[in-house]
Amino acid sequence: MAGRRSWIRTIGGLIAAGLIQWHLPAWGQERISGEVLDELLPEAENEAAVEDLVELLEERAARPIFLPYARPETLAELPFLTPHQIEALIHLRDSLGTRMQWEDIQRLAAIDSITLRRLRPFVRLGRPPTRPRWFVRGMARVSLSASDQESYPQAPYRFYVRNLVQRRQWQGGLLYEKDAGELWMQPSGMPQYLSAHVGFTSNRWRAVAGDYQARWGQGLILWQGFALARGREVTQFFRYMPPLRPHTSVNEFAYFRGAAVRHRPNRRWEWMLLASYRRLDARLDSTGDTPRIISFDEGGYHRTPTQLLRQRNSGMSAFGGRVQWNGRLMQLAFHGLGLHLDRIFSPNDRPDRAALPQAQTWLYGSGAWKLTWRKTFFFGEAAVQYPLGWGGTAGLLTHISDITTGILVRHYDAAFYPMLGQPWGISTAYAPESGLYYALSGRYGRWTAAFYADIGRPVFLRYLQPRPFARYDWMVQLSQRHPSGRFYLYFRQKNIPLTESHEGQPASLVGLPLHVLRMDYRSTAAPFFQWHGRIETRWVGDSTAEAAFLILQDLSRRFPPAFRLTWRTAWAAHPTYHTRIYAYEPNVRYAFSFSQFTRTAIRTALLAGWKKGPWHIEAKAGYSFFPADDKPEEHRWDAAIQILWRL
């Protein structure tokens, strides 16, 4: 009887979501935060990266960029802008200055209506107003999650508070977080996660003391925080963001703790130095005479006894610098980074990692370049590593009328292990990897089409099987924009390696295709409500017997003068880890995924927001039901409230 009720609830949720979509009006738009999360991160599985992106956008929305006085590196903080669009905006700035109007930006061939709509929350025209002596921005969030099948070992609350204070060229920040299931304080008496910084910014100098992030070149040796990857924004594989910024998110791994300074003595040259020391969570192997580090724990959770044993049990010292030369058409940058650990780092604990070196001191060096010729950007980076390893990437991005295309080639040898980098497309097999990435997008009227293909062929397989294994990943996207909304159709296919045995034993690998079919739609044309929906299915191989599904529908209404209400309903199922589907809820950020690898779920949530003057209050109440399929039936409740202030 319980199984029958579960199926009735599942089918009922599916029918309800289908009826909502059947009454869909004309296509519409959505506000910028949800759009960026859904479009720039369609395959994101790292909530910390999403937090980095949201914090970056919130910071820019709080302190908008005044375009007549903007620098290219400031515009580069907006991840949805391509280098060609930044060049077009800078050229318009030089031509019109403070006389620039939105109509002038709209007439630029490089700026379409979608980019223009994304720009408006973060960009202002005219002269900036007189800066107030003090600017304060902060947020406090409390969330609670409960289940009738499992419970957290400690307090089930998540508490997060952040405050930033700016006075002209000076900035200071403080952040504290306790995840659900963690103690309020560490056993040593220190806060669970505390981050602080003091920064100074001027036309020529930028200095940060405390916690900060660094992003160099194309990410081969150092790239901390948010980084675009394969997705529907197919021309974003060229990485172009400021090399130094304070760390203001809850990402507990991808940042430095120390001091860094960046100086630009003139228009041609700039340099940067950094130094850091911090404790990291690490997995240790104590079978030998001396414990060695096998891997780092990047999740930041300290709930279970095993996680508590790994909490900040290893130290890392970092030191490095970069020099960059800026020419009229070309930029050259050279980077050096050294890492010293208090224990030997030996990541080759499995047969598939046998080619990786082990050492206590790791040294990296790289050179990056960018060449601009008309509407074409040539870029790349080459890196070397000690212990011996090397890697390189090179590509171009060009714009011809309404067509944008890009090519990226890369190769990393088996010993290349970028501990703090995010090389584009590097294989998790730690085998020599060569890859070719091709992207194409174009516009015709209200329609936009995009395509990418990524083909890789490592020399050896994951478990050192001495035969070639081709990997591929390709995507086709079709979208239509309308004054009242937007529509997406998104198809992706990639092959993934599946093993026949586990626990480090050799296994034969088979490349099976993973298919992703996704449709997004949104509308503001309804007289009372805004609609946002998504239908997605995934399946592995030629059989759809184990396909994953997601049907999601948001219904929003703005009540004057400052109240907004959103209702979300979703039905999802994924039988395997490879078919896991993620969806991010607006307002109070939450990743709608599953606590188990194989599960079916029905999700409903109510989100409310109120904004008045410097205060913005958001609240959420959610319920998730996991029917009794391969695990016991589970009911889960969650609630959250957050307060944002801007003084």
DSSP annotation string for 300-365: ----SHHHHHHTT-EEEEEEEEEEEEE-SSEEEEEEEEEEEEEEEE----SGGGTTS--EEEEEEE
pLDDT of 521: 77
Task: Round to whole Å and give the CA distance between 422 and 224.
Answer: 8
pLDDT of 196: 95
Q: Dig out the tokens for 114 from the structure.
A: 């979608």
User: For the chain, what is the mean pLDDT?
Assistant: 79
Residue 226 banded pLDDT, cuts 50, 70, 90: confident
Nearest to 568 by CA among 530, 606, 594: 606
Distances (CA, A) of 430 to 6, 199, 352, 459, 640: 43, 38, 7, 11, 41
CB 124 within 8 A of CB 105: no
Condensed to tens digits (0 to 9), the pLDDT of residues 457-495 reads 654 434 334 444 566 788 888 887 766 556 778 787 877
Give pairs for 187-193: CB < 8 Å, separation 24+.
187/308, 192/302, 193/250, 193/252, 193/300
Averaged pLDDT for residues 497-511: 41
Residue 27 has pLDDT above 80, yes or no: no
Share of the chain above pLDDT 70, in %: 80
pLDDT of 132: 66
CB 330 within 8 A of CB 275: no
pLDDT of 222: 94
Residue 507 has pLDDT above 50, yes or no: no
**Residue entry with tokens 């924009």:** 481
Of 222-236, 263-277, 553-567, 577-591, the range with the lowest mean pLDDT is 577-591
Helix or strand (DSSP H, E) at 64: none
DSSP 598: S
Residue 9 has pLDDT above 50, yes or no: no
Q: Domain limits of the chain?
A: 445-637
List of E strands, 459-508 = 471-482, 485-499
Beta-bridge partners for 344: none
β-pairing, 65-66 vs 123-124, is parallel
Of 87-91, 362-366, 465-469, 615-619, the range with the lowest mean pLDDT is 465-469
Q: Dig out the tokens for 548 from the structure.
A: 């994953």
- Model pTM above 0.75: yes
Condensed to tens digits (0 to 9), the pLDDT of residues 54-81 reads 777 777 777 788 888 888 878 888 878 8
Higher-scoring residue by pLDDT: 548, 353: 548
pLDDT of 501: 37
Q: Would you say the C-alpha torsion 80, 84, 89, 90 has a positive or negative sign?
A: positive
CB 59 within 8 A of CB 33: no
Averaged pLDDT for residues 578-584: 73
CB 271 within 8 A of CB 321: yes
Beta-bridge partners for 619: 608, 641
The three-point CA angle 187-192-196 to 5° equals: 130
Residue 176 has pLDDT above 90, yes or no: yes
Q: Dig out the tokens for 179 from the structure.
A: 């995840």
Burial of 188 (0-12, 13-18, 19+ CB in 10 A): exposed
pLDDT of 16: 38
Residue 610 has pLDDT above 80, yes or no: yes
Residue 378 banded pLDDT, cuts 50, 70, 90: very high
Residue 259 has pLDDT above 70, yes or no: yes
Of 220-224, 270-274, 514-518, 542-546, the range with the lowest mean pLDDT is 542-546
Burial of 115 (0-12, 13-18, 19+ CB in 10 A): middle
pLDDT of 474: 83
Task: Round to whole Å and give the CA distance between 404 and 108.
Answer: 15
Condensed to tens digits (0 to 9), the pLDDT of residues 315-367 reads 999 999 999 999 888 999 999 999 999 999 988 777 667 778 889 999 999 99
**Which phi-psi region, left, alpha or beta, contains residue 114 (left: φ > 0; alpha: ψ -120 to 50)?**
alpha
Q: Which residues contact 14 (CB under 8 A, 6 or more apart)?
A: 551, 571
Condensed to tens digits (0 to 9), the pLDDT of residues 406-463 reads 899 988 888 888 999 988 876 555 566 778 889 998 888 778 888 988 877 654 434 3
Residue 239 banded pLDDT, cuts 50, 70, 90: confident
β-pairing, 330-345 vs 359-373, is antiparallel
Residue 502 banded pLDDT, cuts 50, 70, 90: very low
pLDDT of 256: 96
Condensed to tens digits (0 to 9), the pLDDT of residues 203-217 reads 899 999 999 999 999
Of 43-52, 353-362, 385-394, the range with the lowest mean pLDDT is 43-52
Share of the chain above pLDDT 90, in %: 21
Burial of 189 (0-12, 13-18, 19+ CB in 10 A): exposed
